[in-house]
Structure 1
């Protein structure tokens, strides 16, 4: 059981609910409460099943909890609060030989252990006392209805860590709503509870006790003990006369001396806590599933617009769309459009010589074409990325949690990434350098010919880039680039030219896809900060079922006390 409960705790931790979906607030609070219940009580108690029985004294404001604790112990161990709210830390009284059971690794790990009274709500004062019997510890908790929220939260946390509630109320407060809400929680968890009616005039004890007993029976507490502590004079040490709490003290002494009885109380409370945890785990898992699906929907919308942007960009980079404007003018200047076209229409015997003459002495024009290619590709990438970002952000903004995700990151997801231009420039230059390497490799056998020397690697790689961008188009742009195709075939041969063009297009597609992939990845980062694992809901359900199976098996065998 301990192993599976620890796994359930891990599964709950792995299923956060960060998105503000409808109804998530209550489930978010339930998840935190369940995790705290496991950390503060169930796991420590299952780890140390033989630890002393922890009796938490809780209840209403002014009910006399601290006075009762002092009276039970027989000397002053905790100071009653004269002013409200009482903000001192809780006090845990234990037998001197059993202090090792109450270290932070075994109980309430978030609270700092101190030996002196303090007003720090994040601390717990440990007080050894030989008057406390072995096998038992008493913890004085803050008021459950304190006007201080921190006190209320701490009181709830301490009660959740109890094996047994000793719930104190008074004639003036016993019908208040807040204490009964806590007692209802105890009933739901099947926590062991005893009620104490304190600060009640002796003449009213019987009447109020009867009424309180009826309320207990109506609310599922008919089998819980009910003790009465009449109103009396409190000594300077904060104690009532010993006889006032003698019945409670005798009951606790008997319980402390009865190991089977203590185990029964612990078994009842642990089993109830485990049942409550597993019952609440399933709606939490359902909520986590909705969270995963919501984020998946956001990411799917971002994927959709980036898929379309990628398709559009690759099409533009392979159908001649970029060979226009300044780039087309630079290209035509480079190839000497009119002369080169006439050359390609001349007789085959004159083509090679005319091509060489047309290109000879134009390295600067080749450089200008390369720069124009860089600028055209950079503009195309940024334009497609900008439009994709705007569309993805607009889709996310239609949902409140999507808008929150956009606002949660310092990266402006409504625009292309700030580093995109630099990355694009690097990729395009890398592509052009890659084409130059292709040409060097393919032209190894002709590098000393007049044709190659006249053109050079730069001229041929520039022509290769232009042909790759033109694609198979047969329109005016395609016609304009045909001299480049003829040039490559003339110098390198048709088979090599075709192979280089295919490689150039494939490598450009890979680089452009990587650039937009980086833009797409920007939308994953904000979602990853929420740590929503797609398998977390199923893992949580499976963990809860395993714990339930063990609990059912133990109950069937009648060994619930040996969880």
Structure 2
């Protein structure tokens, strides 16, 4: 095994986990976030340190349910009360790690459980207590660190860690117990004759089986005469759950002495097994390799599950984005239709345009005799047309109202669609996204004026030739731009005034005015370009407003393929370690 590349793979996995927060309330998100957090702890606390050396001392975590007698068992194995045992629950508040002097460099460093602080402890006659006066006592210490106790009774090559209860009434204790068990090379599970079938313990045992952790089960407080029946049933349960190779030790129910200690001979068999294990370097190495391979295999499975959760996140994000895009696309379409089907050439705009080009009677005459338009256009250029400012203002007001109304509808529609999904509901909870965004009306007015400025630039660019000068001066650039707006607002799919006759003579006159200056082809080109510029400005305006929704989605989640690739490589590394552990076992056999 290439340790450097293996460590690099673990670091890559940790980086992938750290970069993936699964923010959306998709069905599998909550469970996947917990899975990711627990996997990261296992990788940091156990896998990465153990990859550096399989021959380092083993971490034996003593775990079990409340009142099972874990601390009492540890004290009996050591031969004196180094960890607190008693009737008050929970008893174990700060985990105690007892180790041989030669193993201090390994356990006191950051090789095992690097995220937990260390406090050196010493024996005071009743239990181990922190040597540092500034450190909290073991009875009320926070459960975020390890109390380290050096004791010659613990065999070299093995550390005993008395963990909090797996079913503690305190959340912090339960979480820490799970973290410690996940970091174990060897797990000593302590239960009693009355509680060995409890579901909580078997859930953790199933996890140990999935990781190939070497498990020793201590059946404690067995009543006289019940050892055979109870141990036989427990053995059957272990076999059914994939733990056929677990060692089983039985401790009979018996009174404790004044120091709450078990008789020394009650743990003799268990102590002998641990001592033998501590003296057999190859056996320890095989256990470490087997557990490490199992941890990597489980990590591979977990990463594969996270790939599914990431895919679910991407699907949920895609659905939410599509809902917003659809709502705002409908708004853009509504604005485009309203600004092309003649709607804006009614009411105030039409009245002001009539003031510029002639009377209502003139418009009626246009409808009956197109030839008279040419005469009126000629008179228009030789006469003194009314100012076009009022038309410009009316167009600006009308177009602005259409845009603001359509955007409000898009916001309301997008919010309504998001409320139909758990992820969307959570994102918009407490937010007023179903109305126009702050400052949208002002931005819309700015864009309308900017578009009117675009038209002036189009007119100037098109009329650069000298032959256009006299005619353009007669009406003025602003007047020609207004005429172009009228044509744009009466155009659909590239067709203009005379071709579809929308809004009657208003479009006809605007068409003819422009054709008399630029020619028919140029008018078509100008109208098409002006329409495109308007659509582009509206689209950008709506996209900016839509980001009020899409920005809530955060960064795009990691691609599932990245997780799949890491899962495959973790599985391959697990197989490599398993093969090595099997070969070592065969050689020892």
Q: Which bin holds the TM-score, normalised by the shorter protein? A: 0.7 to 0.9
Separation in structure 1 between the aligned mates of residue 479 and residue 29 of structure 2, nearest angstrom? 64
CA deviations on 1:126-146 (whole Å, 9 max, x unpaired) are 334455444222211011232
2:503 aligns to what SS in structure 1? helix
Match of residue 551, structure 1, among 574, 579, 588: 574
Q: Does 1:41 align with 2:57?
A: no
Q: Does 1:70 align with 2:75?
A: yes
8 Å Cα contact 2:468/2:517 also seen in 1: no
1:440 aligns to what SS in structure 2? helix
2:59 aligns to what SS in structure 1? strand
TM-score (norm. length: structure 2):
0.81
Match of residue 168, structure 2, among 146, 162, 166: 146
1:171-250 to 2 correspondence within 5 Å?
171-200=193-222, 209=231, 212-213=234-235, 215-217=237-239, 219-229=241-251, 231-236=254-259, 239-240=261-262, 242-250=264-272
Counterpart in 2 of 1:422?
442
Separation in structure 2 between the aligned mates of residue 447 and residue 74 of structure 1, nearest angstrom? 112
Counterpart in 2 of 1:53?
58
CA deviations on 1:41-65 (whole Å, 9 max, x unpaired) are 2233224544321010111322322
Aligned residues: 552
8 Å Cα contact 1:112/1:123 also seen in 2: yes
Counterpart in 1 of 2:133?
none
TM-score (norm. length: structure 1):
0.84
Separation in structure 2 between the aligned mates of residue 224 and residue 262 of structure 1, nearest angstrom? 15
Counterpart in 2 of 1:515?
541
- Measured at CA, do residues 106 and 484 of structure 1 come closer, stay the same or move farther in structure 2, by a change above 3 Å? farther
8 Å Cα contact 2:342/2:502 also seen in 1: no
1:403 aligns to what SS in structure 2? helix
Separation in structure 2 between the aligned mates of residue 346 and residue 224 of structure 1, nearest angstrom? 105
8 Å Cα contact 1:52/1:136 also seen in 2: yes
- 335-344 vs 430-439, greater mean Cα deviation: 335-344
Separation in structure 2 between the aligned mates of residue 276 and residue 21 of structure 1, nearest angstrom? 24
1:144 aligns to what SS in structure 2? coil
Separation in structure 1 between the aligned mates of residue 472 and residue 236 of structure 2, nearest angstrom? 107
Match of residue 94, structure 1, among 86, 94, 99: 99
8 Å Cα contact 1:271/1:560 also seen in 2: no
- 300-309 vs 210-219, greater mean Cα deviation: 210-219
Match of residue 388, structure 1, among 404, 410, 425: 410
- 293-302 vs 366-375, greater mean Cα deviation: 293-302
Query: Displacement of 1:452 after TM fit?
Result: 4.0
CA deviations on 1:210-235 (whole Å, 9 max, x unpaired) are 66545544544443223344535345
**What are the ranges of 5 or more consecutive residues in structure 1 without an aligned counterpart?**
none
- Measured at CA, do residues 165 and 418 of structure 1 come closer, stay the same or move farther in structure 2, by a change above 3 Å? same
Match of residue 381, structure 2, among 355, 366, 390: 355
Query: Displacement of 1:259 after TM fit?
Result: 1.9
1:162-561 to 2 correspondence within 5 Å?
162-200=184-222, 209=231, 212-213=234-235, 215-217=237-239, 219-229=241-251, 231-236=254-259, 239-240=261-262, 242-337=264-359, 345=371, 351-352=377-378, 354-359=380-385, 362=386, 365-407=387-429, 410=431, 412-445=432-465, 451-471=471-491, 472-473=496-497, 474-475=500-501, 477-491=503-517, 497-528=523-554, 531-533=556-558, 535-536=559-560, 538-555=561-578
8 Å Cα contact 1:340/1:355 also seen in 2: no
8 Å Cα contact 1:12/1:540 also seen in 2: no
Query: Displacement of 1:381 after TM fit?
Result: 1.4
Separation in structure 1 between the aligned mates of residue 322 and residue 220 of structure 2, nearest angstrom? 62
2:324 aligns to what SS in structure 1? helix
8 Å Cα contact 2:62/2:188 also seen in 1: yes
8 Å Cα contact 1:366/1:458 also seen in 2: yes
Query: Displacement of 1:273 after TM fit?
Result: 2.1
- Measured at CA, do residues 497 and 224 of structure 1 come closer, stay the same or move farther in structure 2, by a change above 3 Å? closer
- Measured at CA, do residues 458 and 78 of structure 1 come closer, stay the same or move farther in structure 2, by a change above 3 Å? same
1:113 aligns to what SS in structure 2? strand
Query: Displacement of 1:246 after TM fit?
Result: 4.0
8 Å Cα contact 2:293/2:577 also seen in 1: no
- 189-198 vs 217-226, greater mean Cα deviation: 217-226
8 Å Cα contact 2:71/2:92 also seen in 1: no
Separation in structure 1 between the aligned mates of residue 546 and residue 533 of structure 2, nearest angstrom? 20
2:383 aligns to what SS in structure 1? helix
- Measured at CA, do residues 450 and 539 of structure 1 come closer, stay the same or move farther in structure 2, by a change above 3 Å? closer
1:154-165 to 2 correspondence within 5 Å?
154-165=176-187
- 382-391 vs 4-13, greater mean Cα deviation: 4-13
- Measured at CA, do residues 433 and 347 of structure 1 come closer, stay the same or move farther in structure 2, by a change above 3 Å? closer
Separation in structure 1 between the aligned mates of residue 65 and residue 59 of structure 2, nearest angstrom? 20
Separation in structure 2 between the aligned mates of residue 242 and residue 189 of structure 1, nearest angstrom? 33
Separation in structure 2 between the aligned mates of residue 111 and residue 332 of structure 1, nearest angstrom? 83
Query: Displacement of 1:23 after TM fit?
Result: 6.5
1:470 aligns to what SS in structure 2? coil
8 Å Cα contact 2:373/2:509 also seen in 1: no
Query: Displacement of 1:332 after TM fit?
Result: 1.8
- Measured at CA, do residues 560 and 46 of structure 1 come closer, stay the same or move farther in structure 2, by a change above 3 Å? farther
**What are the ranges of 5 or more consecutive residues in structure 2 without an aligned counterpart?**
1-5, 121-129, 131-137
- Measured at CA, do residues 350 and 11 of structure 1 come closer, stay the same or move farther in structure 2, by a change above 3 Å? closer
1:522 aligns to what SS in structure 2? helix
- Measured at CA, do residues 210 and 497 of structure 1 come closer, stay the same or move farther in structure 2, by a change above 3 Å? closer
8 Å Cα contact 2:60/2:185 also seen in 1: yes
Query: Displacement of 1:421 after TM fit?
Result: 1.5
- 203-212 vs 182-191, greater mean Cα deviation: 203-212
1:167 aligns to what SS in structure 2? strand
1:477 aligns to what SS in structure 2? coil
Separation in structure 1 between the aligned mates of residue 485 and residue 105 of structure 2, nearest angstrom? 77
